[in-house]
Amino acid sequence: MTATPRYAVFGHPVAHSLSPRLHAVFAEQTGIALEYVAVDAAPDGFVHAVRGFFAGGGCGANVTLPHKAAAFALAEVPTPLAQRLRVANVLTRLPDGRLEAGSNDGAGMLADLRRRCAFEPRGREVLLVGAGGAARAAALALLDAGVRRLTIANRTFKRAQALADGLTGPVRVVRWEALDRLEACDLVVNATSAGVLHAAFALPASLASVHTTAYDLSYGPAAQPFLQWARDAGCLSAFDGIGMLVETAAASFERWHGVRPDTDAALRALSAGNRP
């Protein structure tokens, strides 16, 4: 009897992840048998855990905080986009046994912004808060989408500057303590890990106006501090990243199985359940 194909999401922490439930929804939609689990791997054990998973027959994996740079580094075959970003959120075992590193975070974010949030980034003023792997994917996607200007801020200025140095286009970097001197933006994207790590988080209310859309790459409880800031600051609208998760998961599923699942139905299924 053929073994059920195995997939996983690796992160730290990862118990909150909705990816196993989401891939179960996709499997039901498409009639594809699979096993998908969440694996909590601390940074010093990530490479060992991933190699063990694939050596044991794993077919593919998603990767979340804080492992996206490490995922890119351990794979033998990067996609062109992953090569540009130097981070990966999708690992795929190729027929010859090598690991492919891919990135669909940016495309998933743009798809969600346009479809669920009714926000078109082209020609807009955007503030990106954060400078990690998720921020890098978001920054490149926003610039490729034609934003008027992308402003990057991070508590550690050197990390923000390093992110900007790897980008081309209308980019500027501001120091965290200078955020209260910026004018309101069309879009504020939170790409920090503050909510996931239960860290204090606050932004100046002056960054928002009745024309501002706020978007958090995280979802569930991790996004609530930022979404609360957006409501208190008077933003036009505020969204967590559940739609981005669905879009990126669907892209991963299609890469692994050759079938594109119904993302609208999957999002309704998550909303009807007990998602955080």
* Residue positions annotated with a catalytic role: 68
Strands annotated E in the chain = 6-11, 35-40, 58-63, 77-78, 90-93, 99-102, 125-129, 149-154, 171-175, 187-190, 213-216, 237-239
Residue 254 Cα to chain centre, angstroms: 17
Burial environment of residue 240 by CB neighbours within 10 A (0 to 12, 13 to 18, 19 or more): buried
Contact indicator for 251, 263 with CB cutoff of 8 Å: no
Which one, of 168, 156, 270, lies nearest residue 220 by Cα? 270
> Helix or strand or coil: residue 47?
helix
- Distance (Å, whole) CA 59 – CA 64: 17
- Distance (Å, whole) CA 108 – CA 142: 11
| Cβ-based neighbours of 102, under 8 Å, separated by 6 or more | 78, 79, 81, 82, 88, 89, 90, 91, 92, 255
